[in-house]
Chain A
Amino acid sequence: MEHTSRALPKIRASHISKVFSNGKERVEALRDFSLEVQEGEFLCIVGPSGCGKSSFLRILAGLLPASSGTIEIQPGEDPGKPLTSMVFQEYAVFPWKTVLENVGFGLQMRGVPKAERLTIAQSWIERVGLSKFIHAYPHQLSGGMKQRVGIARALASDPEILLMDEPLGALDAQTRTLLQEEILRIWEERRKTVVYVTHSIEEAVLLGDRVVLMTAHPGTQKAVFPIPLPRPRDLKVMATAEFGELTYTIWEALRGEVLKAMKLLGET
């Protein structure tokens, strides 16, 4: 029994398309996009802006219906746990809730008793290094700290799959590097299934087990790159020749897509 469930992929997305239409214009965000993600895999999706990677993540999260195609997600053993939790960009933490309330939000919505909720939230706040700010409101925090709250909020609700939508995209380079390290460290502890959308190739190679490259307008899958870098990883891996080679190979493949996307934007 356990053996068969292991064999099934955690996520199987088959022939997903998504068309946005407002009556006059039709925008095809995704076309025939298929993807399988294994249990415990850290999958990164890279593509030029407008390639529908955020749409795909929202379809996975159930926030957006697909125009066609199917999504299968293997549920875990505990039906009380959510299938997915999303980490948005850092401004998505609720400004009207304290750090503690933000991190405990998913648990609260699931009806977890208050005492248990506080314990879990507190332990996650400690793990992202925000114990001093437990009762602070987001406006008192820096961008990087806010995103730590966002990550803790997603992890505290202990989802089957963690979805991350360019979580570090709006942060400055140094904060981003710090948080990349932190994401690696936290992920190595649990090895949760992660789908991570980013526009940074370095970030994708550093974090991911596989990198999926998408084309733009409409978004389709262009190539998949396995990242054979050893685990557990840390930032040192960025100094290796292998890392540089992988990054360059993916960039070579991406370059044409970026140019195409820019040309398309320029023409309209």
Chain B
Amino acid sequence: MNGKGNPKLLSLLTLLFALWNGCLTLFHGWTAFWWLGLGVDFLLIVGIAELIGKRIPPLYAPLYRRSLSVSFPLLLFLAWELLVRGGVLSPDWFPPPSRIVQALWELITKFDEFSKTSLLGRPWLLLGAAWGNRPETVKELLAESHLYATLMRVFVGFFLGATPGILLGMVMGVSPTIRTMIDATLSAFYVLPKIAIFPIMMLIFPDPFGEGPKIAVVAISVFFLVTINTMVGVRDIEPVYLEAGRNYGASGFRLFYHVILPGALPVVFAGLRIALGTALIVIIAVEFVRAKTGVGFLTFYYWEILSPEKMYAGLVVVMVLGVLLTAGLKKVEQWVMPWRKP
């Protein structure tokens, strides 16, 4: 009897939870009061989780917390599924998770005859072609892949924007003259929604519907974010590092390489992280508007032919892409800056 996590209270809450859901189901209350039902359920679950948490031995506490963070979204999906099946939510707007998973599976495994595209470039053929050393086939298959198209645009655009962004940002951080000259102009461009310059890009490039304008918009969005963050990173280096560097005989390029560059890197990487997210946002938006391939196109295309579960599947792909790209950048960050606290 340590008074922690009263077992009686726990059983009471569990009983309440069962009663509440049972009554709502029995008296067909879900249709009218689904929001109230979910709200009360949420509060009861929080209470139960809290009480169980107090009874968990400290050794298993981290495991318990992790299981909470995993099971909550699963519970949400379950609620969604049940609400749709019970006829509370319309499957036209909110197709149940099971059907979205099904649609995703279809997107991965099927070739769309009408648009002559597939999500991953038909991996079962792709692997065979790569194995059999048939570069022409590999190229064709990649060209029909939505994921490959989006990834390429993001990567190429990110690289083309980040490289000059880092260089200009460094120069602006080091030289107050250049900084004062360019800063105001840069800020003006920074606030401009980059998608708004897409028409200009289409005008400039010889093939307005090709890859050029799309990559250019991504590159420009990335460029401004990275430039500004790099400049701030360099400008705001702890002055004592510069003093120490100079006192120990570093100047010019060596001061830059040994002190300024590593000192600015954390902020530079913060900028790169934001820029990568922005690149994804911009490319999806561009693909909505004007593209024949890409995950954004895919999502919009299935809206046009009124196939909501595939539309949702497209969104899931975007989310997974975002998570994986950010995690990848994090890995690069740890590799470049091993001195940072993990």
Contact = CB atoms under 8 A, between A and B. Distances in A.
B249 A86 contact: no
A53 interface: no
A137 B247 contact: no
Interface stretch (B73-81, B93-101, B291-299, B332-340): B332-340
Interface string A66-91: 00000000000000001011101101
B262 A96 contact: yes
B241 to A, nearest CB: 7
A109 B262 contact: no
Given A85-B248, A94-B262, A157-B248, A139 B340 contact: yes
Q: Dominant SS at the B interface? A: helix
A218 interface: no
Interface residues of B, number: 21
Interface string A98-123: 10000001100110000000000000
Interface string A18-62: 000000000000000000000000000000000000000010011
A109 B249 contact: yes
A63 B337 CA distance: 29
Contacts of A153: 248
A97 B240 contact: no
Contacts of B331: none
A138 B338 CA distance: 12
Contact of B244 (A88, A96, A110, A137): A88
B240 A94 contact: no
A137 B259 CA distance: 15
Given A97-B339, A137-B339, A106 B238 contact: no
B339 A92 contact: no
Contacts of A63: 243, 246-247
Contacts of A96: 262-263, 265, 337, 339
A77 to B, nearest CB: 19
B338 A137 contact: yes
A84 B247 contact: yes
A82 B243 contact: no
A13 B340 CA distance: 42
A89 to B, nearest CB: 7
Size class of the A contact interface (CB-based, 8 Å): 20 to 34
A98 B262 CA distance: 13
B250 interface: yes
B258 interface: yes
A70 to B, nearest CB: 20
B247 A61 contact: yes
A62 B243 CA distance: 10
B302 to A, nearest CB: 48
B240 A91 contact: yes
A96 B241 CA distance: 11
A244 interface: no
Contacts of B8: none
B341 interface: yes
Given A94-B259, A139-B339, A106 B240 contact: no
Contacts of A61: 247
A95 interface: yes
Interface string B242-268: 011011111000100011001101000
Given A137-B338, A137-B339, A139-B339, A92 B249 contact: no
Contact of B249 (A58, A88, A110, A137): A110
Contacts of B263: 96
Contacts of B265: 96
Interface of A: 58, 61-63, 82, 84-86, 88-89, 91-98, 105-106, 109-110, 137-139, 153, 157
14 contacts: A63-B243, A84-B247, A85-B247, A89-B240, A92-B240, A94-B259, A95-B339, A96-B262, A105-B248, A106-B249, A109-B248, A110-B249, A139-B340, A157-B248
Task: In the A-B complex, list the 6 residue pairs whose CB atoms are closest, starting with the nearest.
Answer: A109-B249, A96-B262, A106-B248, A137-B339, A92-B240, A96-B339
